[in-house]
Amino acid sequence: MQNVQVKDFFIGKGQPLTIISGPCVIEGESHTLYCAEVLVKMMQAFPVNFIFKASYDKANRSSVHSFRGPGLEEGLR
């Protein structure tokens, strides 16, 4: 397995564990920022790298009527 550089750290064999975490879908700016702040604080207690991830368009919902997210323009704001 090759190591991959992400910003200022590497992911791969022999590297610290990388956690990718966040809410399944963006529900609003304040909620997303709150989740990111809490997760960053939690991860600082451990020797791990952290990547925050949340989807702006979650197309694989169990129902066509389920909330998919704010969409591309609002999600990338």
Other C-beta atoms closer than 10 Å to the C-beta of 39 total: 17
Residue ranges per structural domain of the chain: 18-64
9: left (phi over 0), alpha (psi -120 to 50) or beta: beta
Residue 51 backbone dihedrals phi, psi, to 5 degrees = -125, 125
In Å, how far from its chain's centre is CA 16? 18
What are the pLDDT digits (tens) for 32-73?
999 999 999 999 999 999 999 999 888 777 788 888 888 888
> Is 80 exceeded by the pLDDT of residue 1?
no
